[in-house]
Amino acid sequence: MEKIVIENLYKVFGSPAQKAMTLLEQGMEKDAIFEKTGLTVGVNNASFSVNAGEIFVVMGLSGSGKSTLVRMLNRLIEPTAGNVLVDGENVSKMSQDELVNFRLHNMSMVFQSFALMPHLTVLQNAAFGLQLAKVEKKKREERAAEALAQVGLAGWEDSYPKQLSGGMQQRVGLARGLAVDPDILLMDEAFSALDPLIRTEMQDELLKLQEDDQRTIVFISHDLDEALRIGDRIAIMEGGRVVQVGSPEEILQNPADDYVRAFFRGVDPTNVISAGDIVRDTQPTVIKMKAGSLRAAHELLSGSERDYLYVLGPKKQFLGLVSTDSLKEAMDKKTGDSPIDQAFIQDAEPVKMDDSMQDILPLVASHTWPVPVVDENNKYKGVVSKNRFLGALHRAENAIEAE
Ligand SMILES: Nc1ncnc2c1ncn2[C@@H]1O[C@H](COP(=O)(O)OP(=O)(O)OP(=O)(O)O)[C@@H](O)[C@H]1O
């Protein structure tokens, strides 16, 4: 479901902005416009949408327009033209009062600089957004304490920011954003000032919070590793333009141009592409435990080149496998047909949808059969075959290498 829709959004810094708009219409580029008029095109005709519950990363080099784009979502920067719709409501048309309310309740922002107030305690800092929203003291302190606990800072409520490490201060910044319980969280290079280890820790924290809360998060980053790690989808910006939007795998396998390709050079595709991206649900390799009998399974196998079947429960949960040999043996023992029951099923280790190609490589390499893939509830999603694995790898490598 689309949460934020951005339509033909522009920002020109300087005036008269319209002059730059006319030149853009005539096809002139950002640099030429600046030279001719002194006006800076911050964002140039951005259109895309952000889905509810996803972490959407906006990535690009310094000056490409990331901050300007994201600040137009809550109108910290006024767009020169275009629309931003949140849940169908046009942010560009909100009155100042509506806008203040909207920022306080629906869309909070976490900054790189933490922006904590030194004379306020950790709890007061975390409660600050709620105070602005005029939530009464007891309630806001309760909610702030909850948010601090969520980010692992229970017990630090009465400390002052300067007593905290950089990582902890950033957690307070995050707690302040979370305390108002917004649907949408805008995060501007929120983890960039942290050292690498703590940064990874905060990324994990965010992913963990996201498992419970499913907020819509728009996250600015100039760091590809970060984008790949946390982004469900990524928008890549260059010179004010959004040049590509897609999942990390989509962009990796099919970069829109050399600029995008350059970003991804050096990235190991086996870290980015997951089992879920290359899984294929091939029915002939499975049999339902209830419906299938030993003989039915045996017949299925004798009609195929395979000598095993994956066995699924009534809700498609993955149970293991039966092979031609084990079926024959069982049928001999049972002298005839009988349902497949647990005793005949051998263990087979499935991989998870999120597992990267790197994770599953050893299994794919050592199996003679396609590797089964399950979701987080152990539900069968299909298989990854060796051919499919190698195909995906070659496509990704070619896409990055192509000049
Ligand atoms: N207030 C402003 N006045 C004039 N030009 C501005 C202003 N803010 C940004 N710009 C210009 O707009 C363009 C986009 O800047 P923006 O800060 O959005 O880029 P960014 O990708 O966020 O960069 P960074 O990663 O360095 O923060 C740049 O050319 C910048 O110089």
* Ligand 1, atom 1: closest residue by C-alpha: 13
Q: Could you tell me if 231 and 330 lie in one domain?
A: no
Joined together, the tokens standing for residue 168 give: 């902890």
The verdict on residue 85 lying in a domain is: yes
Whether 380 contacts 317, CB under 8 Å:
yes
Q: What is the pLDDT of residue 111?
A: 78
Of the candidates 300, 386, 375, the one whose C-alpha atom is nearest the C-alpha of residue 340 is 300
Atom of ligand 1 nearest to the CA of 67: 22
Distance 90 CA to ligand 1 centre (A): 24
Distance of alpha carbon 86 from alpha carbon 289, whole angstroms: 47
Instruction: Give the sign of the dihedral formed by CA 263, CA 265, CA 267, CA 272.
Output: positive
Residue with CA closest to ligand 1 atom 18:
65
Predicted local distance difference test score (pLDDT) of residue 291: 63
The last residue of one of the domains, among 218, 245, 267, is 267
Q: Select from 10, 31, 64, 69 the residue to mutate for testing ligand 1; criterion: most ligand atoms less than 8 Å from CB.
A: 64
What tokens were used for 261?
Answer: 């390709």
List helix spans (H) across 254-382.
Answer: 258-264, 269-272, 275-278, 294-302, 324-334, 357-366
CA-closest residue to ligand 1 atom 29: 63
Distance 267 CA to ligand 1 centre (A): 27
Which of 218, 234, 267 represents a domain boundary (last residue)?
267
Note whether 375 and 353 are within 8 A (CB). yes
Where are the strands (E) in 327-403, listed by range? 351-352, 371-374, 380-384
**Atom in ligand 1 nearest the alpha carbon of residue 70:** 18
> The domain spanning residue 63 has which CATH number?
3.40.50.300
262 and 301 both lie in a single domain: no
CB 5 within 8 A of CB 26: no
| DSSP conformation letters of 307-327 | SEEEEE-TT-BEEEEEEHHHH
Crossing angle (nearest 10°) for helices 196-213 and 166-179: 20
Which residue matches tokens 């979502």? 73
Q: How many whole angstroms from 81 Cα to the centroid of ligand 1?
A: 17
**194 and 64 both lie in a single domain:** yes
**Residue range of the domain that includes 296:** 277-392
Same domain? 324 vs 374:
yes
Q: List the structure tokens of 50.
A: 């952000």
Distance 134 CA to ligand 1 centre (A): 33
Find the 77 Cα to ligand 1 centroid distance in Å: 11
Ligand 1-lining residues (CB < 6 angstroms): 13, 40, 42, 60, 62-68, 222
- Residue 177 pLDDT: 86
Closest ligand 1 atom, residue 222 Cα: 25
Q: Which of 267, 294, 315 is the last residue in one of the domains? A: 267
Residues 85 and 199 in one domain: yes
User: The whole model's pTM is what?
Assistant: 0.77
By the 8 A CB rule, do 222 and 61 touch?
A: yes
On whether the CB atoms of residues 57 and 231 are closer than 8 A, the answer is yes
CB neighbours (10 Å) of residue 89? 13
- In ligand 1, the atom with minimum distance to the C-alpha of 40 is 5
| Number of domains present in the structure of the chain | 2
Nearest CA to ligand 1 atom 31: 63
CB contact at 8 A, 333 and 358:
no
ipTM metric: 0.96
- Residue numbers of the chain with a pLDDT score lower than 50: 403
Residue 302 near residue 315 (C-beta atoms within 8 A):
no
Cα angle at 25 between 22 and 30, to 5 degrees? 85
Give rounded-to-5 percent helix, strand, coil for the chain: 45, 25, 30
Mutate to test the pocket of ligand 1, among 37, 40, 43, 187 (most ligand atoms within 8 A of CB): 40
Mutate to test the pocket of ligand 1, among 9, 30, 58, 67 (most ligand atoms within 8 A of CB): 67
| 294 shares a domain with 259 | no
User: Number of C-alpha atoms within 13 angstroms, CB side, residue 195?
Assistant: 4
Cα 347 to Cα 316, 372, 384: the distances in Å are: 16, 12, 18
Phi, psi (degrees; rounded to nearest 5) at 321: -135, 160
pLDDT digits (tens, 9 = 90+) for 15-42: 999 999 999 999 999 999 999 999 999 9
Same-domain check for residues 237 and 321: no
Percent of the chain with pLDDT over 90: 41
